[in-house]
Amino acid sequence: MNAGIIPSRYAKALLEFAQIRSTAKQVCEEMENLSHSFSVEPALRPTLNNPILSVEDKKKLIHSAIGTKVSKETERFVDLVLENHREEYLQSIALMYQEFYRKANNISVGSLEAAVAVDQEVVNRIKELVTSRTHGTMELKTKVNPKIIGGFIFEIDFRRLDASVISQLADIRKQFIEKNKRIV
C-alpha cells in the first residue's frame, strides 16, 4: 500500500473520531507535540520501529513524546496504531491530522520572516487582513533572520511573498550578469 495512503486514512479516521467526541482541538495539540518530538529527536523513529522494543515500551515512549496528559482518544488511537504495527507512519499521521484539522476548521498557517523583530500590532493587522479574506482564522509564526538585511518574507498556505533586500540584491546581480553577457 502507498506510504501516503496509510497515514492519510489513519489521520482522517482519528479526526472523525475526535470530532464525534468533541476533542479534535485537544488531539490536534497532541499531534503537534508528537510531530515536534519527531523533528527534534531523530532517534525517535528508529526506536519506535525497533521490533525488540515491547508494545508497552513503545506506548510509553509515544506518550512521553506527546508530553501532556494524553486524551483517551489519542490513547486509543496509539493502541490501534501499535496493534496494527503502523508505528513507522506515526509522524506522517500526526502531520496529516494537523493538516486535515486546519482544513476542516478553515485555519490558515503562515510565517513572517523579517530582519528585525516585528511589533505585535503588525502581526495582528496581518492576521486580521488574512482572516477577513479567508473567513477563517490564522496561525502566524514570526521569525527574525538578520541575513535578509531588510524587508520581509511572508508565506501562507504554500504561497510566498519575498520582499527581502537580499532577494532584491540577488535579482539585481542576476540582471547585471545577464546584461554583461550580452555585451561580451
C-alpha span between 155 and 101 (Å, rounded): 20
Q: What is the CATH number of domain 5-103?
A: 1.10.520.20
Report domain extents, the chain. 5-103, 108-183
22 CA to centre of own chain = 22
The pLDDT assigned to 2 comes to: 58
> pLDDT (tens digit, 9 = 90+) per residue, 49-80?
998 999 999 999 999 999 878 999 999 999 99
Q: Is the pTM of this model over 0.85?
A: no
Cross-sheet strand order for the sheet of 152-156? 137-144, 107-114, 152-156, 159-162
- pLDDT confidence bin for 4, thresholds 50/70/90: confident
